Structure 1
Amino acid sequence: MLDQLLVHQVRRRVESSELPLSVEFWDGQKVGRTPAAVRVRLREARSLRAIANPSLGALARAYVEGQLDLEGDVHDILALGDRLCSAGDHKAESGVERWKWWRHTRSRDRRNIQYHYDVSNDFYGLWLDARRVYSCAYFRSPDMDLDAAQEAKLEHICRKLDLRPGERFLDIGCGWGGLLLHAAERHGVQGVGITLSDDQHRHVSDLIARSGLADRVEVRKMDYRDVPEHGGYDKIASVGMFEHVGRVNLVTYFDKINALLRPGGLVLNHGITAAAPGSAGLGSGIAEFINDYVFPGGELVHVSDVFRAAADSGLECLDAENLRPHYGKTLWHWVNRLEQHADVARRLIGEQKYRIWRIYMAGSAHAFECGWMELWQLLAGKAERGSQPNYPFTRDFMYGTR
């Protein structure tokens, strides 16, 4: 009886809407427009709930669990899902959830990182650029390809840090080693990268051995809280990592960075933030879906919280840049590349994980384009005893030639 009521509710919703949508039920019955830009195939009765009373998170769950199929261009799917769920009306949950301390213990953080990153190096290699940079690219021109835009991002970070030959450089959350090796090869630093991912650690170790840089670069499987060289680094970068830190640990995180920096040193923190002040995460069930399927333990805070935590730790904020449109463009590149290699991806990681990454990255691209999330690069410095960070008076060193 309940199923029939939900079928009726779905029919009424689809027929009364002006959306370019068709829905096919598990018994072959269809409702909606023909042709339709987006076609939903319901595979079982329990998928009715995701359509009858939809949220973006519920639709994503049903898709990932194989309860329904989504056919059509992924741009159209996300745009239609947004309209169907009126997601823009509740894009962020209000209030700040105070997560318990145990959510970010060393062992839990290690498991969370390995869940997301130790999927398959070959899988990530299908759709990332040649250096496997898994963070927002920097498009100096609209027609720049992904590989060039990621090289531009790495150089943009190195210029902001004003890296110099012989400086000690720490890359927190070094990923597959793109920034670490770029900084060593192009700017002559003595580099250390840290990661909690087994796959990434093996990959970067192999890259260092093949590059002939073992005398100047090393990679460690290590939590950022356990890096021992206090006062040992001239420059530090953290790219796409601090989303894993947790709101309650932000000051601990910046305290550690401050302790690792030499007086006058610089840190660049590159990470995703919530667009809404006081946000507890994206609404419409998105935050819960991401936590359950993609980034367990991940949290987004507003950029003002990042500024405050850095300042509370004694770091002076020197420069900030929002790269929000760059990340939307980056993610669409990744989605397109993933879809082009869909068959290989499915063989490597299976149908469900393929669906997770496809809908997660497309949904994230849509969220950046809609302004629900932002990507901030925050440059800060360590000043002690009336001195100031080693930071030029103008930004010419970032954007000029040298």
Structure 2
Amino acid sequence: MLESLVLDRVQTRLDGLAAQRVPALAVVLPGGRRIGPADAPVCLTLRSLTPLAWLAAGQVGRVAEAHVRGRLDIAGRMRDVVEVAFALVREDPTAAAPLARWAEMLRHGRSLVRHRVPADARQVQQHYDVSDAFYALWLDPRRIYSCAYWRDPAMSLAQAQEAKLEHICRKLRLTPGERFLDIGAGWGGLLLWAAEHHGVHGSGITLSRHQHAHVNRLIEARGLGGRVQMRLLDYRQLPEDEPFDKIASVGMFEHVGRANLPRYFAKIRRLLKPGGLLLNHGITAGGTRNAQLGAGIGDFIERYIFPGGELLHVSHVLRVMAEAGLEGLDTENLRPHYARTLWAWSDALEARLDEAARVSGEATVRAYRLYLAGSAAAFERGWMALHQTLAAHPTGDPADGPMRGAQSAYPFNRDYMSR
């Protein structure tokens, strides 16, 4: 009786897809019975009936988890798959959780526990140390694992990533000889670009052993040992005796956690010289009160992709930044740029699935296929955003800076960013 009721609900959901003008979906049950059109471009083949209830309820994150665990197979183009999946979602994924006040208190406590120094190291290594060879299959040659900047729509992914690096360096007004810090330097793309194209003395930190070793090999190969260093270090452990002229944090603050965000920006302020500039680049929430996406999507990402990751709305980020003594100067939303970046990564991974499975395992490939395509579609829908925020450590003296009252290196116009 219960099974029949669930099957009826699934059939109703499948019929409803046609009204939403999305690709059709078919479901093949363990005994071979097929529900849905024979020519549906997306098909789920179930090994048990358990995922049916999640499908009927629109819990697409649970369906994705079943796929990673090998309990069902998904056939179809990833663009069609995510169109169907998001059409099945029955709730606003950016809405606040029920009992929002108590949920906020619970999130704060969990955030404190999850973002201690040893825990952060384990979580970062779980994601970034999957396999260098795996990431190399679908990232650009510089292995830049953050939103690209499509200054020209005709750019390749590699060109758009270089445009992003230059965009950041121009925003920071980097000049030769300045001390530059890259927090969460990844595989070294920005750190090396800033040193080679803008002449800075660069310091990068990461918690990934693989990234640390890779960047140090590049530093040695390019003869930058006297000007660039890469350290395996938590940002909280950085010494503050020699503040930096400029600081960038790209794709890192998502790992900081809501509870630690005041400490994070306070630490950056102490690391930054008075008058110096910060560029904070990271994923932000589409909703003002949700810490992750609903419909089980956030739980899936937490379990299989970014353990410990937390989303914050840009308004919250700007408030905490200001309370830490950093003046927000310029905020740019690159949301559609990240959608296009993720689709480029997704397409590159789809073209090399067999190789990816050999170097990282089938479960990892299944998880990342859904993560990359699903995230691309989520950015297109505004469920998540990507904000670059330029901020300063004001000197306190109105006479400092290129314009009276600036109190920093910022000229209070945007012309220099595009010249």
TM-score by shorter chain over 0.5: yes
Q: Alignment partner of 2:108: what SS?
A: coil
The answer on whether the counterparts of 1:91 and 1:284 sit within 8 Å (CA) in structure 2 is no
Letter of the 1:396 counterpart: D
Pairing 1:227-242 to 2, within 5 Å after superposition: 227-242=238-253
CA shift, 1:8, in A, is: 4.7
Report whether the alignment pairs 1:121 with 2:125: no
- The equivalent residue for 2:287 is 276
Tell me the TM-score normalized by structure 2. Answer: 0.92
Which residue of 372, 377, 380 corresponds with 2:391?
380
Letter of the 2:391 counterpart: A
Deviations 1:328-374 (A, max 9, x none): 00000000000101000001111111011110111110110000111
Pairing 1:91-102 to 2, within 5 Å after superposition: 91-94=94-97, 95=100, 96=104, 97-100=107-110, 101-102=112-113
Q: Structure 1 pair 25/271, CA: closer, same or farther in 2 (3 Å)?
A: same
Q: Alignment partner of 1:99: what SS?
A: helix
The answer on whether the counterparts of 1:170 and 1:192 sit within 8 Å (CA) in structure 2 is yes
Report whether the alignment pairs 1:168 with 2:184: no
Pairing 1:48-59 to 2, within 5 Å after superposition: 48-59=52-63
The answer on whether the counterparts of 2:95 and 2:289 sit within 8 Å (CA) in structure 1 is no
Misfit runs of 4+, over 6 Å: none
Letter of the 1:58 counterpart: R
- The equivalent residue for 1:148 is 159
- The equivalent residue for 1:356 is 367
Which residue of 363, 368, 390 corresponds with 2:409?
390
Letter of the 2:278 counterpart: V
The answer on whether the counterparts of 2:13 and 2:88 sit within 8 Å (CA) in structure 1 is no
Q: Distance in 1 between matches of 2:210 and 2:263?
A: 27
Which residue of 194, 197, 212 corresponds with 1:186?
197
Q: Alignment partner of 1:320: what SS?
A: strand
CA shift, 1:51, in A, is: 2.1
Alignment root-mean-square deviation, CA: 1.5
The answer on whether the counterparts of 2:331 and 2:387 sit within 8 Å (CA) in structure 1 is yes
The answer on whether the counterparts of 2:14 and 2:24 sit within 8 Å (CA) in structure 1 is no
Q: Distance in 2 between matches of 1:50 and 1:393?
A: 51
How many residue pairs get aligned? The number is 399
Greater shift after overlay, 106-115 or 30-39? 30-39
Q: Structure 1 pair 63/92, CA: closer, same or farther in 2 (3 Å)?
A: farther
Q: Distance in 1 between matches of 2:141 and 2:37?
A: 42
Which residue of 336, 344, 355 corresponds with 2:355?
344
Report whether the alignment pairs 1:20 with 2:43: no
Greater shift after overlay, 89-98 or 363-372? 89-98
Q: Structure 1 pair 36/181, CA: closer, same or farther in 2 (3 Å)?
A: same
CA shift, 1:48, in A, is: 2.3
- The equivalent residue for 1:38 is 42
Tell me the TM-score normalized by structure 1. Answer: 0.96
In structure 2, list runs of 5 or more residues that go unmatched: 401-406
Q: Distance in 2 between matches of 1:196 and 1:293?
A: 19
Q: Alignment partner of 1:40: what SS?
A: strand
Q: Distance in 2 between matches of 1:351 and 1:223?
A: 31
CA shift, 1:5, in A, is: 4.7
Pairing 1:314-353 to 2, within 5 Å after superposition: 314-353=325-364
CA shift, 1:375, in A, is: 0.3
Q: Distance in 1 between matches of 2:286 and 2:48?
A: 37
The answer on whether the counterparts of 1:173 and 1:194 sit within 8 Å (CA) in structure 2 is yes
Q: Distance in 2 between matches of 1:215 and 1:230?
A: 20
Letter of the 2:181 counterpart: L
Q: Alignment partner of 1:176: what SS?
A: coil
Which residue of 70, 74, 85 corresponds with 1:70?
74
Q: Distance in 2 between matches of 1:263 and 1:194?
A: 22
The answer on whether the counterparts of 2:244 and 2:276 sit within 8 Å (CA) in structure 1 is yes
- The equivalent residue for 2:300 is 289
Deviations 1:152-211 (A, max 9, x none): 000000000000000000000000000000000000000000000011011101111111
